[in-house]
C-alpha cells in the first residue's frame, strides 16, 4: 500500500512535523523565551509596517496627496519609474535603453541554456555587446547621446554585463599565465591579480576618473564612462582569474598529457580539453561573482554616474517629489533582490542539471 495515500500514515507524518515544531518553539525554557520575544517583536513591528506599506499608502496622485497621508507614497514610484529605469537618457529615445534591457535579458537566457554552449556563443556575445553600446550611443540610428546621459537600470545592467564579458578573456589569460612555467609571465600575472585584489574598487574608480586624464595628453583621455568601464573590467578580471584558476586546477593533469600525446598543440589543449571542463566546474562560483559585480557596480555613483541606485536616490531629490527616499530605496532594493535571487536559483538549477547530465 502506498504510504502517501494511507490516511493513518499521513496523520502520523503531520503529527511528527507538528511535534518537531512544538519542541523547537517551546521545548526548553530558553526556546519558549525566544519564541515569546520574537512573537512580541513581530506584533510590535509587522502591523505598523503593513499599515505603512499598504493600508495607509498613497497609490496614485501628486506629492501633495502623499504629504497629507501617513503611509508610503507609491505614486512617487509611478511618477519616477521612467527616471529610475533610464535616468538622464533623453525621454523621446526611451526605446533604446528598453531594447538594450531586452537584448541583455535574451542574451543572458541564451547563455544560461546549456544547449547553446558552443563556440558561436562567443561570437554572439561580441556582436550583442557592440550592438548594445552602439545603440545607446546612437552610432547606428538617430541622434547621438553622450555617455554622461546614460543611466538607470539600463546602465547598471550594461556596465555589469559588459564588464563581465570583457573581463572573461583577460581573466582566462591571467589564469593561464599564473599557472604557466614562464617565470616573467607568472610574476606579472600574480602582480596584477594581487594588486587589484588588494585595493578597494572605489580606489580603482578614482584612479580611472581623476588620475588617468592627468597622465594622458590633453584630448586623448577617453570618455568618463569608458574609463569607469575599463576600471570595472580590470577589477572583475582579477577576481575572475582566480575563479578560473581554481577550475583549471580541478582538471586532472592526465587530460592535458593525453591530448599532448595525441599531438594537440597548447592552445588546442586549452580550448578544446581543459577550459570546457574547468569552466563547468566553477559555474556556481562564476554566478556568485556575477552577483557580486552587479552589486559592486553601484559604486560607480561615487564618480557621478547615474546607475540604478544613484538614480533612485536622485529621484527623491527633485523638489517636486522631495524626500521619498524610503520608497525609492525599497523599490530598487526589490529590483536588485529579484535579479540576484533569480541568478542564485539559476545556479542551483544548473548544478542539479549538470550533475544529472554527468551521471
The count of chain residues that interact with another protein, using the rule CB under 8 A, is 41
Using CB under 8 A, which residues numbered 216 to 275 contact another protein? 217-219, 221, 224
Cα dist from 249 to 34, 178, 189, 243, whole Å: 46, 11, 16, 10
Cα dist from 221 to 144, 215, 218, 243, 263, whole Å: 19, 9, 7, 32, 47
| CB closer to another protein out of 1 and 218 | 218
Q: Which stretch binds another protein (CB under 8 A): 173-181, 255-263, 265-273, 299-307?
A: 299-307
Q: How far is the CB of 308 from another protein (least distance, A)?
A: 14
Q: Which stretch binds another protein (CB under 8 A): 244-252, 272-280, 306-314, 339-347?
A: 306-314
| CB closer to another protein out of 88 and 295 | 88
How many helices and strands in the chain, by DSSP H and E? 17, 2
Q: How far is the CB of 328 from another protein (least distance, A)?
A: 10
Give one word for 61, left, alpha or beta, with left for phi > 0 and alpha for psi -120 to 50: left
Q: How far is the CB of 56 from another protein (least distance, A)?
A: 14
Using CB under 8 A, which residues numbered 316 to 355 contact another protein? 317-323, 325
| CB closer to another protein out of 86 and 168 | 86
| CB closer to another protein out of 77 and 132 | 77
Q: 145-160 b/e with 16+ CB inside 10 Å = b?
A: bebeebbbbbbbbbbb
Contact 177, 219 (CB under 8 A): no
CA distance 293 to 343: 12
| CB closer to another protein out of 131 and 303 | 303
Q: What are phi and psi of 117, to 5 degrees?
A: -75, 80
| CB closer to another protein out of 146 and 265 | 146
> What are the start-end ranges of the H helices in 113-182?
119-137, 152-179
- Which one among 304, 337, 341, 348 touches another protein, defined by CB under 8 A? 304
Using CB under 8 A, which residues numbered 75 to 104 contact another protein? 79-80, 82-83, 86-91
Q: How far is the CB of 305 from another protein (least distance, A)?
A: 9
The grid coordinates of residue 99 equal 531594447
CA distance 340 to 290: 9
- Which one among 74, 125, 168, 306 touches another protein, defined by CB under 8 A? 306
DSSP state of 148: G
Query: DSSP string of 283-347?
Result: HHHHHHHHHHHHHHGGGGGGGT-EEHHHHHHHHTTSGGGTT-HHHHHHHHHHHHHHHHHHHHHHH
Q: How far is the CB of 343 from another protein (least distance, A)?
A: 27
Residue 142 touching another protein (CB under 8 A) = no
The grid coordinates of residue 155 equal 546602465
Q: How far is the CB of 52 from another protein (least distance, A)?
A: 12
The residues binding another protein (CB under 8 A) are: 63, 79-80, 82-83, 86-91, 146, 148-149, 151, 206, 209-211, 213-215, 217-219, 221, 224, 302-304, 306, 313-314, 317-323, 325
Amino acid at each position: 500500500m502506498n504510504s502517501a495515500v494511507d490516511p493513518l500514515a499521513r496523520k502520523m507524518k503531520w503529527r511528527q512535523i507538528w511535534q518537531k515544531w512544538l519542541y523547537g518553539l517551546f521545548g526548553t525554557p530558553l526556546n519558549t523565551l525566544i519564541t515569546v520575544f520574537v512573537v512580541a517583536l513581530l506584533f510590535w513591528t509587522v502591523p505598523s509596517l503593513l499599515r505603512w506599506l499598504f493600508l495607509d499608502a498613497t497609490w496614485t496622485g501628486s506629492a501633495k496627496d502623499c504629504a497629507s497621508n501617513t503611509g508610503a507614497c507609491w505614486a512617487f514610484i509611478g511618477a519616477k519609474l521612467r527616471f529610475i529605469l533610464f535616468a538622464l537618457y533623453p525621454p523621446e529615445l526611451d526605446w533604446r535603453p528598453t531594447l538594450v534591457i531586452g537584448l541583455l535579458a535574451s542574451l543572458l537566457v541564451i547563455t544560461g541554456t546549456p544547449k547553446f554552449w558552443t563556440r558561436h556563443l562567443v561570437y554572439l556575445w561580441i556582436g550583442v555587446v557592440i550592438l548594445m553600446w552602439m545603440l545607446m550611443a546612437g552610432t547606428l540610428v538617430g541622434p547621438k547621446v553622450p555617455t554622461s546621459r546614460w543611466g538607470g537600470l539600463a546602465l547598471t545592467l550594461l556596465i555589469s554585463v559588459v564588464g563581465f564579458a570583457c573581463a572573461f578573456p583577460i581573466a582566462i589569460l591571467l589564469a593561464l599565465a599564473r599557472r604557466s612555467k614562464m617565470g616573467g609571465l607568472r610574476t606579472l600575472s600574480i602582480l596584477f591579480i594581487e594588486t587589484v585584489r588588494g585595493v578597494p574598487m572605489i580606489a580603482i574608480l578614482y584612479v580611472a576618473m581623476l588620475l588617468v586624464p592627468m597622465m594622458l595628453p590633453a584630448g586623448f583621455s577617453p570618455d568618463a564612462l569608458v574609463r569607469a568601464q575599463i576600471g570595472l573590467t580590470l577589477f572583475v578580471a582579477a577576481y575572475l582569474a582566480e575563479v578560473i584558476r581554481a577550475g583549471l586546477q580541478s582538471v586532472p593533469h592526465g587530460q592535458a598529457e593525453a591530448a599532448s600525446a595525441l599531438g594537440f598543440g597548447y592552445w588546442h589543449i586549452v580550448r578544446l580539453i581543459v577550459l570546457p571542463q574547468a569552466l563547468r566546474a566553477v559555474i556556481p562560483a562564476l554566478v556568485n561573482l556575477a552577483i557580486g559585480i552587479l552589486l559592486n557596480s553601484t559604486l560607480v555613483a561615487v564618480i557621478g554616474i547615474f546607475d540604478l541606485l544613484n538614480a533612485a536616490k536622485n529621484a527623491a531629490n527633485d523638489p517636486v517629489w522631495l524626500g521619498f527616499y524610503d520608497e525609492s530605496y525599497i523599490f530598487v532594493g526589490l529590483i536588485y533582490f529579484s535579479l540576484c535571487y533569480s541568478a542564485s536559483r539559476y545556479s542551483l538549477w544548473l548544478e542539479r542539471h549538470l550533475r544529472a547530465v554527468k551521471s
